[in-house]
Structure 1
Amino acid sequence: MTDYDVLRVFCGANGGYGNELGVVREGSVMPDPQERQTFAGKLGFSETVFVDDPERGVVDIYTPTLRLPFAGHPCVGTAWLLDVPELVTPAGVVGVRLDGEFSWIEALAQWVPPRTLRQYATAAEVDDLPVPPKGEWIYAWAWEDEAAGRVRARAFPGRDDGIDEDEATGAAAMLLTDRLGRALNITQGAGSQLLTAPQPGGWVEVGGRVVLER
């Protein structure tokens, strides 16, 4: 079995929750994209990262069924693990900074694939949502405290790959931040926390806590 690390990204304040991420630090052991896709499917995480150059931060990202040019929680987690100043993804170069307990990336919102951002009137409505039918990638959200920028969110990828709900999705949080044009403090899934901040030129920062699971 290929060696890989398991991280939890966008953990809550107590270190719990967060979205699991698989990282193969030595991507050279599995250079073929189809082999990588098969391996990511076997692991079953919402995303798995293959590191092709740990010093330059060159990464390759897969869901269980498809390859992604960019994704939020994989970049935040891998940046923390490698401790590099930037990551090189197929979409472009991602800025990185580590700030105490939070790890941050900066990327363009236009790199994020289309998502349906669906607003609800209350956080309780978001809490009560059933998993919707497959086919549409939905980021359901509501204000918990609009003045403070606090948001309640859940993410439903709509894919037929066993991931009915994503615990924490940095890319979708970036899209919401870009649309609203303001910094957000997002509670997603069962209790994950994502912090975001819009930057000039369509760039968005997203950050959170990362824990090495194994």
Structure 2
Amino acid sequence: MTHYDVLRVFCGPDGRHGNELAVVRDGSAMPEPHERQRFAGKLGFSETVFVDDPERGAIDIYTPTLRLPFAGHPCVGTGWLLDLPELVTPAGVVGVRLDGEFCWIEAEAGWAPPRTLLQYGSAEEVEALPVPPPGEWIYAWAWQDKAAGRVRARAFPGRDDGIDEDEATGAAALLLTARLGRALNIAQGRGSQLVTAPHPDGLIEVGGRVRLDGQEYV
């Protein structure tokens, strides 16, 4: 029997929405990559995290079909859950800090998996988009208020793995922040919120609210 926590990451101001995340705190219970991949596919969450060293914060991240060296919402959620100053991912060491109701991570945009960032003319255009066919990982965005740095976004992984639309995507937010070179307040999906801030050293922070939905056993 495997125990895991279910979180929602990047919740809206009302505490709703956010992207679901499963965290297996005892990664040693399922050490083999093929076991982890099968488990992640069975759960069907956008990402599932296995904690390999809870003291160092070493983690392993899986989508239903892929292993990822880094991903945003899994790091924000796991950082909040473990309350550690950093996480160790295959891509690099991710800084973590808690600030009021927000959990922030600090990472390099280059660690994010490739995403196609498509700008649209208005938030209404983004909201009206249909889910594209599988193939390309698309992050559709538009300015809601350019002067204030407010963005409307939707994300379409295109992996044909049951996740047609990603509710909140920290890695894509890092890439967009790097491209625009400014802090952003992103409304994504049905009602999730991501906040970002670029640093002079090239690192980028992305933060949001995290809620614990419960603990499950399989």
Q: Same fold (TM over 0.5)?
A: yes
Report the aligned-residue RMSD: 0.6
Query: In structure 1, the residue corresponding to 2:64 is in which secondary structure?
Result: coil
CA–CA separation in structure 1 for the residues paired with 2:103 and 2:54: 17
CA–CA separation in structure 2 for the residues paired with 1:96 and 1:60: 16
CA contact (8 A) 1:110 1:202 kept: no
Corresponding residue for residue 148 of structure 1: 148
CA contact (8 A) 1:170 1:194 kept: yes
Query: In structure 2, the residue corresponding to 1:36 is in which secondary structure?
Result: helix
Partner deviation per Cα, 1:88-121 (whole Å, 9 max, x = no partner): 0000000011000000000000011111100000
TM-score normalized by the length of structure 1: 0.99
Residue 201 of structure 1, CA deviation: 3.5
Residue 197 of structure 1, CA deviation: 0.5
Query: In structure 2, the residue corresponding to 1:5 is in which secondary structure?
Result: strand
Query: How many residue pairs align between the two structures?
Result: 214
Partner deviation per Cα, 1:24-83 (whole Å, 9 max, x = no partner): 000000000100000000000000000001111000000000100000000000000000
Structure 2, unpaired ranges of 5+: none
Corresponding residue for residue 113 of structure 2: 113
Corresponding residue for residue 64 of structure 1: 64
Corresponding residue for residue 206 of structure 2: 206
CA–CA separation in structure 1 for the residues paired with 2:194 and 2:136: 23
Corresponding residue for residue 164 of structure 2: 164
Identity across the alignment (%): 81
Pairing of 1:1-214 with structure 2 (within 5 A): 1-214=1-214
CA–CA separation in structure 1 for the residues paired with 2:106 and 2:60: 17
CA–CA separation in structure 2 for the residues paired with 1:130 and 1:146: 24
Residue 199 of structure 1, CA deviation: 1.3
CA–CA separation in structure 1 for the residues paired with 2:111 and 2:201: 13
4+ runs deviating over 3 angstroms: none
TM-score normalized by the length of structure 2: 0.97
Amino acid at match of 2:114: P
